[in-house]
Amino acid sequence: MPELPEVETVRRQLEEVIPGWTITSVPLAEPSMLRGLGVRDFERRLSGNSFSLPRRHGKFLLLPLSGGFWLTVHLGMTGRILVPTGPRSRDPHDRFVLALTRDGCRAWFVFRDVRKFGRVELSAGTPAPRVAGLGPDGWTGVWDSGYLARRLAGRRAAVKALLLDQHILAGVGNIYADEALFEAQILPFRPAGSLGPEELERLAAAVRATLERGVRALGCSISDFAHVDGRLGSMQQELRAYQRQGQRCERCGGTLERTIIAGRGTAYCPGCQV
Ligand SMILES: [Zn+2]
């Protein structure tokens, strides 16, 4: 599933191609993406709007339009955005398609999603309401170890489960949670409220550092547009904990183990994470 670095990579790719294109029609929109509007009404609202600079919060892509509308995109497990020019090539997994024009040229905004967990939502004035309930962005947001201390205080849930909670920090998923806890040398099943100030400092720094590494690795490895298809690019070679159970710990030489936390496979080193 795409996490913050993967979504940031898509945002940067979109930033290169999408600003300035104007929506002319809505050739395809699944009912779940219309939020109760008829497709003609949806089309009437969107037509004539042009895209400006894309933003991101956590795992959500936020696409502001010139008319005050927003498209909020969640890629789910397999969602991809493509902006092909020329005649439209149809695909059975296309869920949402906009026809675009700029300087007499035509293009398409295509949301393609094989497993259907992704979503495109239209809203007026602000991004989709569920974005407002998210915690600060894990990479670029304003938060620190003091914020973590306040949010984790007294919580008996596993620290990893709370790192995955998008209401606390937005953008951290299974990969980067395992990596950050490994880097901070904290066991993933520790009760969140048991972490001391120094551990919280280490954890805060590790979350930002691992997300940063992810953004850098994915940004370098992806050359053509919209590659959010589950590949990790060169990040795969940089992973030190995620799915490395049974392998040697590069820090202490011990063997990484696996457990389940919040329903997610979790790898950790019992030798050097405490
Ligand atoms: Zn170790």
> Is pLDDT above 90 for 116?
no
Which percentage of the chain shows pLDDT scores above 90?
Answer: 75
User: In this structure, are 124 and 180 located in the same domain?
Assistant: no
User: In this structure, are 88 and 184 located in the same domain?
Assistant: no
- φ/ψ (deg, to 5) at 220: -80, -30
Any domain includes 231 = yes
Compute, in angstroms, the gap from residue 163 CA to the centroid of ligand 1.
21
Number of separate domains in the chain: 2
Quote the CA–CA distance of 267 and 101 in Å, as a whole number: 48
State the residue for tokens 């991004």: 127
User: In this structure, are 112 and 198 located in the same domain?
Assistant: no
Any domain includes 238 = yes
User: In this structure, are 13 and 127 located in the same domain?
Assistant: yes
| 158 DSSP β-pair partners | 191
What is the band of 30 on the pLDDT scale with cuts at 50, 70, 90? confident
Domain boundary residue, one of 132, 153, 171: 132
Any domain includes 139 = no
Compute, in angstroms, the gap from residue 79 CA to the centroid of ligand 1.
35
What is the band of 220 on the pLDDT scale with cuts at 50, 70, 90? low
Domain boundary residue, one of 132, 153, 170: 132
pLDDT reported for residue 221: 57
User: In this structure, are 108 and 151 located in the same domain?
Assistant: no
Question: What single-letter DSSP state applies at residue 65?
Answer: B
Quote the CA–CA distance of 197 and 23 in Å, as a whole number: 50
Quote the CA–CA distance of 219 and 190 in Å, as a whole number: 33
User: In this structure, are 77 and 123 located in the same domain?
Assistant: yes
Compute, in angstroms, the gap from residue 128 CA to the centroid of ligand 1.
42
Any domain includes 137 = no
User: In this structure, are 161 and 116 located in the same domain?
Assistant: no
Range with lowest mean pLDDT among 52-56, 135-139, 234-238:
234-238
Domain boundary residue, one of 99, 132, 165: 132
SS3 content of the chain, % helix, strand, coil (to 5): 30, 25, 45
Any domain includes 174 = yes
What is the band of 167 on the pLDDT scale with cuts at 50, 70, 90? very high
Any domain includes 162 = yes
How many CA atoms lie less than 13 Å away from 188 in the CB half-sphere?
A: 31
What are the tens digits of pLDDT across the range 65-99? 998 999 999 999 888 899 988 888 889 999 999 99
> Where is pLDDT greater, at 234 or 241?
241
CB-based contact 7:56 (threshold 8 Å): yes
pLDDT reported for residue 66: 94
Range with lowest mean pLDDT among 47-56, 73-82, 161-170, 195-204:
73-82
Compute, in angstroms, the gap from residue 180 CA to the centroid of ligand 1.
14
Any domain includes 8 = yes
Quote the CA–CA distance of 3 and 76 in Å, as a whole number: 10
Taking alpha carbons only, the member of 59, 64, 198, 193 closest to residue 130 is 59
Quote the CA–CA distance of 117 and 79 in Å, as a whole number: 8
Domain that includes residue 154, residue range? 145-268
Compute, in angstroms, the gap from residue 172 CA to the centroid of ligand 1.
22
User: In this structure, are 63 and 108 located in the same domain?
Assistant: yes
Query: Could you list the active site residues?
Result: 2-3, 59, 264
Compute, in angstroms, the gap from residue 252 CA to the centroid of ligand 1.
4
User: In this structure, are 97 and 194 located in the same domain?
Assistant: no
User: In this structure, are 10 and 58 located in the same domain?
Assistant: yes
Question: What single-letter DSSP state applies at residue 264?
Answer: E
CATH number at residue 227: 1.10.8.50
CB-based contact 76:117 (threshold 8 Å): yes
Compute, in angstroms, the gap from residue 187 CA to the centroid of ligand 1.
11
User: In this structure, are 152 and 123 located in the same domain?
Assistant: no
> Is pLDDT above 60 for 227?
no
CATH number at residue 65: 3.20.190.10
pTM for the predicted model, two decimal places: 0.91
Range with lowest mean pLDDT among 6-15, 30-39, 133-142:
30-39
User: In this structure, are 72 and 172 located in the same domain?
Assistant: no
Any domain includes 273 = no
Mean pLDDT of 154-183: 97
